[in-house]
Amino acid sequence: MGAGGAQAGGGPAPPPAGDRVPFSRAAVVGTEAAHLASAMSTARLGGDGAFGRRCEAWFRAELGVASALLTSSCTHALEMAALIAGIGPGDEVIMASYGFVSTANAFALRGATIVFVDIRPDTMNIDETLVEAAITARTRAIVAMHYGGVACEMDSLCRIAAEHGLWLIEDAAHCTRTRWKGRRLGSFGQIATMSFHETKNLTSGGEGGLICLNDPALEARAEMVREKGTDRRAFFRGQVDAYSWRCLGSSYLMSELGAAYLWAQVEAVERILQRRGRIFARYRAAFAEAAADGRIETQAIPPGAESEGHIFYIKLRDAADRAAFIDHMARAGVIAVFHYVPLHGAEAGRRHGRFHGADRFTTRESERLVRLPLFYGLGDAQQDRVIAAARAYLAAG
């Protein structure tokens, strides 16, 4: 992750690279290699193999969704969502501007216009009270991205989508098993997507994703979109005599090696999420006083929502305070990073989207936010260093 913003002449020299606390490291639970070897011995490494089916059955049961299909990434799962929903030129899709580029890109690729609305400053999620006013005759879908795994206000979003006959698509890239009022995220929208990128809670070896369908009628179409627009999966099941080109699609399958890697992580899911949850709880306790004093803000977890420790952020006063903080942390050997740069102000965001209503919080809050290291392998002693460095900065003013 480069020099982490450390600069010459700005106080003590940064510690050598080996002593640095990285921002993120992919989880490794120890059984991945054995599962990879097992998959390699079957000589069937394409998608939709035995490990793939095993993972899909687990997610289907665990999330309580009608269907779950592994994909090559969450980006691709979002592209599939746009194809399954039949989004096309002239259509509008509503989402928050504070989010990852893939979420907007997937629909812009189909020719849709992205209609960005403001976020709630407490959770950084889409402000559900602004969605209805952004709906036009062209609106086709609402995308709910659950930031840090903390649920959007799903009662409102489900009601609005149903009343206006819109697709509700959940970008659950930050979620594994978090719930809204007892029900797992990913089970609310007709379509939901997840990510197994190396930075996420579970990984399939670097890149990977999942698409969930909550309407059984969508499964056959999703299977075709994932198989280059063909009914190849039905062919392998013996349901059709030959497979042919049926609809637009692409190669969105996860390889069997990715699924084997992911299965190792699924088997260790309790351990991974418990560890992340513990790190998250320690951060919250460590910064409770600064948050109570109003020096910083942390993410609110509204009633009905929960966190399993995907992201821990603090919000500083403004962009300058954040830059000084990141610099201070780098000198202490800690890599702290920020995201997301609001999509509506970016070059492609201006071309493919527009902001509906006032940007009261999206830009201002995104400029104040900084994330602290949070990953499965982060040790207590390393975390204590992060906490001590951050507290020293906050205590100094």
Ligand X SMILES: *Cc1c(COP(=O)(O)O)cnc(C)c1O
Residues lying near ligand X in the complex (CB under 6 A) are found at 73-75, 99-100, 102-103, 145, 171, 173-174, 195, 197, 209
Report the amino acid identity of residue 363.
T
Helix (H, G, I), strand (E, B) or coil at 211: strand
Q: How far is the CB of 51 from ligand X (least distance, A)?
A: 18
Q: Rounded to the nearest whole angstrom, what is the least distance from the CB of residue 115 to ligand X in the complex?
A: 18
Give 143 or 329: the residue with its C-beta nearer to ligand X. Answer: 143
Measured from the CB of residue 263, what is the shortest distance to ligand X in angstroms? 17
User: Which residue number, 203 or 382, has a Cβ lying nearer to ligand X?
Assistant: 203
Pairing of strands 67-71, 209-213: antiparallel
Written as six digits, the tokens of 162 are: 């149903």
Q: How far is the CB of 106 from ligand X (least distance, A)?
A: 9
CB of 243 to ligand X, least distance (A): 27
Cα separation of 287 and 331, whole Å? 20
CB of 6 or CB of 124, closer to ligand X: 124
* Rounded-to-integer distance, Cα 168 and Cα 193, Å: 12
Q: Which residues of 18-38 are buried (b: 16+ CB within 10 A; e: fewer)?
A: eebbebbebbebeebeebbee
Q: 104 vs 66, 94, 126, 189, CA distance in Å? A: 25, 9, 14, 17
Least Å from the CB of residue 169 to ligand X: 11
Given the complex with ligand X, which of 99 and 186 has the nearer CB atom? 99
Of 317 and 339, which has the nearer Cβ to ligand X?
339
CB of 72 to ligand X, least distance (A): 8
Whole-number minimum distance, CB 253 to ligand X, in Å? 14
Nearer to ligand X, 173 or 316 (CB): 173
The answer to whether 310 and 174 are in contact (CB under 8 A) is yes
Residue 194 Cβ vs ligand X, minimum distance, rounded to whole Å: 8
Question: Using CA atoms, how far apart are residues 320 and 26, in angstroms rounded to an integer?
Answer: 30
> CB-wise, 97 or 195, nearer to ligand X?
195
Cβ proximity to ligand X, 24 vs 73, nearer residue: 73
In angstroms, the CA 110 to CA 107 distance is: 5
Q: Following DSSP, what letter does each residue of 21-89 receive, concatenated?
A: B-S------S-HHHHHHHHHTTT--SSS-HHHHHHHHHHHHHHT-SEEEEES-HHHHHHHHHHHTT--T
**Lookup: tokens for 388:** 């001590």
Closest approach, Cβ 73 to ligand X, in A, equals 3
Residue identified by tokens 């007709």 is 190
- For ligand X, which is the closer residue by CB, 145 or 266? 145
The DSSP letter of residue 165 is T
One DSSP character per residue, 339-381 reads -PPPGGGSHHHHHHEEE-S--SSHHHHHTTEEEPP--TT--HH
Instruction: Report CA Rg, the chain.
Output: 21
Query: Hey, how many other C-beta atoms are within 10 angstroms of the C-beta on 72?
Result: 21
- Indicate the pairing of strand 67-71 with strand 113-117: unpaired
Nearest to ligand X of 175, 332 (CB atom): 175
